[in-house]
Chain A
Amino acid sequence: MSFISLTFLIFLAVTVLLYFVVPSAHRWLVLLAASLVFYGWGGLPQVVFVLVTSLVVWSAALRMDAIYETASRSEDAREAAKAAKKKARRVLTAACAVLIAALVYTKAGAAILGALLKVVRGEPVTVKILVPMGISYYTFAVVGYLADVYWKKDKAEKNWAKLLLYMIFFPQIVQGPIPRHKKLAPQLTEGHPFSWERLCFGLQRALWGYFKKMVIADRFAVIVNEVIGGYQTYEGVLFIIALASSAVQLYCDFSGCMDIALGVSEILGITLDENFRRPFFSRSAAEFWRRWHITLGTWFKDYVYMPLAVSPRLMKLGRSAGKVFGKRFAKGLMTAIPLLVVWLLTGLWHGTGPDYVVWGLYWGVLIMISTIWAPEIKKLDDLLHIDTESVWWHRFQMFRTFCIFCFGRLLTITPDLKASRVILKKIFTQHNVWALTNGTLYTLGLDRPNVWVALFSLGLLWYISIREEAGSDIRREIADCPLPVRWFLYYALFFAVIIFGMYGSGLSGSGFVYAAY
């Protein structure tokens, strides 16, 4: 069931109605039932898959809890704690191995099996494997949960159904945000009272999400598909337009879905974590990933980077390296290794092909350079008398970060790396700037009216982003407006979505991009 469907809107209306009609103690059951219906809409096999997964997680967490409980009652607490930690680590490792194996199997299994069968049979073989909806997201959610239980940051959930709800809560299962059990679980089971303000704010946010996805993202997607899909025939500056459009498309698609998810949750009284914070205002690659897909970044930081960075093995390696190559080198090495591991895994999380590996390492290297060589970069700025606090320098940095992001997109939106190379070459060798003014822009899949709608909508998004970056709470400001103004804005946004949205015959809106991960 897609968020962009009338079926979902009806489903949501029924769910919200039932949620607030049922007594508060049982409201979480309504959420569970709704989440199971939502999940099961894509087919029963994936429901079975997620049920089995949840049982594995549930029993592993309970087992770890039991191990710690037993150890805490032991006479020799210190020794018992040490032994318990070892035992719990084994349980954690086993459970995570199963979960990660399932994830790898569903994401890469088809390609691996296909390659193996090709070797055996001597001809290409297409292998189809069930890929449960949201497996990348809920796997990370439960691995994080298990890790928190292992580190005793969280208690094991004794009620399997409540754990299942945490895993497949319907607004977030499609594209995240990746939740933390300790923060989300209590909200899911609390049974929130109806709030008029939350309903209004939630609907506004969801509507804004639909606007970003259906009016902006799907419109720019037409240009991207046209130019990148026909990259052999297009030239120079048109690829720049396509890459910029791709950046806008991806941002509006993903953040639009997040707005829908967070808006829907807000109606139900549940606050999900923010996943975007105006990433194109970032002034560096590192800052970008603190603003883009925030929950993925923090997950990798908490569950991969930090454990790696403080791991005894790495520290030992650092000490050895320091003795041979000096302190600076050792420090750099201890930053670089976990960074590159994180970014390699980030790339693999997005996709299993070589293009995603390159993409992950691309970001990893950039962030590594900016982190390790920060002092040298500062010296260069001083040497060139750059006022790093000036507004123009900040704008340049934002533009630079945007270009870095677009280049990164080039690695993953093309059919393969070879196509990316061809496009890159064309950008630098074919100078057809006149294509910007001779009407070519209206031949890239969008006619003149649609180009203007796209640009106007983007302008509106940009304006609102600037206001929010400056600290404004747009929804609060709208709420403070006189009633006719408020209503006019609500109607305008609603009709903008349903009239200018890219849906329906001949205009099928694409599915959400990040739902494919």
Chain B
Amino acid sequence: MCRQAGEKVHIIIRTGIFLAIGVLLYLMACRFLETPSGVDWASGAGMDDVREHKNKYDVVFVGTSTSIANVSCQELYQSLGIAAVCVGEPEQPVFLSKYTLKDMFRTQSPKVVVLDAKAFFYKDTHDVAVEEGEEDFIYHRSIDAIDSVSIKKQALDTIRRLYPERYEDVDLWEYYSVMYRAHANWEILDYRNFHGYDLSDCMNGNIILTDIEEGRINSYSASDPDAAAAISDEIKGQVVEIEELCSAHGAQLVLTTGYSNFTKARHKAVAKLAEDIGVPYLDINEVTEEIGFDFTMDLHATSHFNLNGTLKWTMYLGSWLKDNFLLEDRREDPAYSWYETQRRVYEKQKNAFEGKNSLLRSLTFDDYLETLAGLSSSEFQIFITTYTDHPVSLTKSQRAYFKELGFSPDAITAYGNYAAARVNADLTEDYESEPDVPAGVAGSVKNLTYAITSVCDDDIQSGILLNEKENSQQGPGVNIVVYSVSEKETVSSVYFDLEHEENPCPRRREGYSVRIMKETAPNIWEAEEEAA
């Protein structure tokens, strides 16, 4: 009997160890699978901050991707001392903004909640432009970010009510169990799943967009000011509930339109709603001139701003918030030290973007080289190749800039084929006098492999390969590619054809133009006419 009892104990201990190891493996698997890679945006980052820094934030932004990208909470802190966070999600419908705020209020007592009005014109559940089947992903982003199971359930119940055919059998476990919702991420694992997101990906729930794309002129003047725009009763009801929720927690709701492809009619509809429920409403489209918004340089895509535009809108909005609410300046408060931790990364991002900006604005070879010389050598890697059958000739100032950059102006003017890389301030050059004998430079650093070829041959073209992808324009003359270390992307790719007086080298993407947009169907925008 003793032996039997001993065996039983042995089995129980073994089972306990088996289960303990199993639980550990399970938690590890959840941890690695949970962070979805292949997505530009770290869902739930803002809500993670909300839960980590309890009762710290004075301003909370919520809404769609315009709240995430078009406002910078880090800039609000650094420039104005406002402690802010964004808990929005891309394509977030209004009712999910409501439940997100409900969850947020469990750990925060902000003075102001800023709700972007873009989603007011969605269908009840999501943007009409969203293709069938994508709404799962949209809901997931917001519902996954909510911590409270009961609030998740309320959100699910609302989805079921608004979209009964599709979501009748939605399983609550899907929104409660990490493995249940994230297990399929095994297909898209990358280093971020194991190292976590870079701080730059999701600081304070924001994302910084760095493309400078086609401009879109404010269409207020283009559209019929008397045209009707309707906010559905369902959404109006949700906005009212958000206002009541904010009031109940001592916060003031502020409505904003922080994006540019809006219409006067929609502005009126939102303004009316704001008036009806007694909340302030700010619309960037009414102050674009005041804030110096440049539709050729400040836009990322559609309704998103790049950092240029974001900083302008942020400063405007932030100043208005400071003037109208008693917001303490948190810059000297050690309880807000995480902003200081983030400062270095943020400044790097700003510098990288400013470098890109300034390069884009440089239209001549001299301007370009001057700008290049002013950029940080640790932040920007420079790659040069020539594509010409004879050596290029440089002016005195151009030679001086080359020297300042560390390259050899004598080499580039003496040899037809010239390839060079300046990586982490280390310079590598190669040159050949015979046109069909390639000059080449190759190497690798963290996250970047490069291979530069300079040749003038029927079969081989000059090129600049970064991570095995062609990054140069392969144009005649001098081709330059500038790579940002912190952004891990090419911020400039140009060529200068020094043979011709008229320099055709494009400074922006092909087909770049500023367009006036017209809304031809709900939330569907088409170009009306070209503008200079």
Is residue A429 within 8 Å, beta carbon to beta carbon, of the partner chain? no
- Give the residues in chain A near B174, CB-CB below 8 Å: 504-505
* Residue contact B11 to A505, C-beta cutoff 8 Å: no
* Residue contact A196 to B22, C-beta cutoff 8 Å: no
What is the bound-complex CA distance between A506 and B184, given in angstroms? 9
A positions within 8 Å CB-CB of B: 5-7, 196, 447, 449-450, 483, 487, 490-491, 494-495, 498-501, 503-507
- Give the residues in chain B near A498, CB-CB below 8 Å: 26, 29, 179, 183
- Give the residues in chain A near B171, CB-CB below 8 Å: 5-6
Of A7, A483, A487, A495, which is within 8 A of B29 by CB? Answer: A495
- Give the residues in chain A near B183, CB-CB below 8 Å: 498-501, 503-504
* Residue contact B173 to A6, C-beta cutoff 8 Å: yes
Q: List 17 A-B contacts (CB under 8 A).
A: A5-B171, A6-B171, A6-B173, A6-B177, A450-B187, A491-B25, A494-B22, A495-B29, A498-B26, A498-B29, A500-B183, A500-B186, A501-B183, A504-B174, A505-B140, A505-B181, A506-B137
B265 to chain A, nearest CB (A): 36
* Residue contact A487 to B180, C-beta cutoff 8 Å: no
Interface string of B170-195 (1 = CB under 8 A from A): 01011001011101101100000000
What is the bound-complex CA distance between A6 and B173, given in angstroms? 7
What is the bound-complex CA distance between A507 and B171, given in angstroms? 13
What is the bound-complex CA distance between A450 and B180, given in angstroms? 18
Is residue B33 within 8 Å, beta carbon to beta carbon, of the partner chain? yes
> Of all chain B residues, which has the CB nearest A6?
B173
Q: Which 5 A-B pairs have the closest CB atoms?
A: A6-B173, A449-B187, A505-B136, A499-B183, A499-B186
Known: A491-B25, A507-B184. 11 other contacts (CB 8 A): A5-B173, A6-B177, A6-B180, A7-B173, A447-B187, A483-B14, A487-B21, A500-B186, A503-B183, A505-B174, A506-B137
A515 to chain B, nearest CB (A): 15
What is the bound-complex CA distance between A196 and B140, given in angstroms? 41
Is residue B18 within 8 Å, beta carbon to beta carbon, of the partner chain? yes
* Residue contact B25 to A495, C-beta cutoff 8 Å: yes
A210 to chain B, nearest CB (A): 13
What is the bound-complex CA distance between A92 and B345, given in angstroms? 83
B positions within 8 Å CB-CB of A: 11, 14, 18, 21-22, 25-26, 29, 33, 133, 136-137, 140, 171, 173-174, 177, 179-181, 183-184, 186-187
* Residue contact B180 to A504, C-beta cutoff 8 Å: yes
> Of all chain A residues, which has the CB nearest B173?
A6
> Of all chain A residues, which has the CB nearest B7?
A196
> Of all chain B residues, which has the CB nearest A506?
B136
- Give the residues in chain B near A505, CB-CB below 8 Å: 136, 140, 174, 181
What is the bound-complex CA distance between A77 and B322, given in angstroms? 106
* Residue contact B173 to A196, C-beta cutoff 8 Å: no
> Of all chain A residues, which has the CB nearest B17?
A487
What is the bound-complex CA distance between A487 and B21, given in angstroms? 10
B369 to chain A, nearest CB (A): 46
* Residue contact B177 to A196, C-beta cutoff 8 Å: no
What is the bound-complex CA distance between A495 and B133, given in angstroms? 27
What is the bound-complex CA distance between A487 and B14, given in angstroms? 11
B194 to chain A, nearest CB (A): 15
Given A6-B177, A504-B180, A506-B184, residue A499 in contact with residue B18 (CB < 8 A): no
- Give the residues in chain A near B177, CB-CB below 8 Å: 6
> Of all chain B residues, which has the CB nearest A199?
B15
* Residue contact A487 to B25, C-beta cutoff 8 Å: no
What is the bound-complex CA distance between A449 and B188, given in angstroms? 10
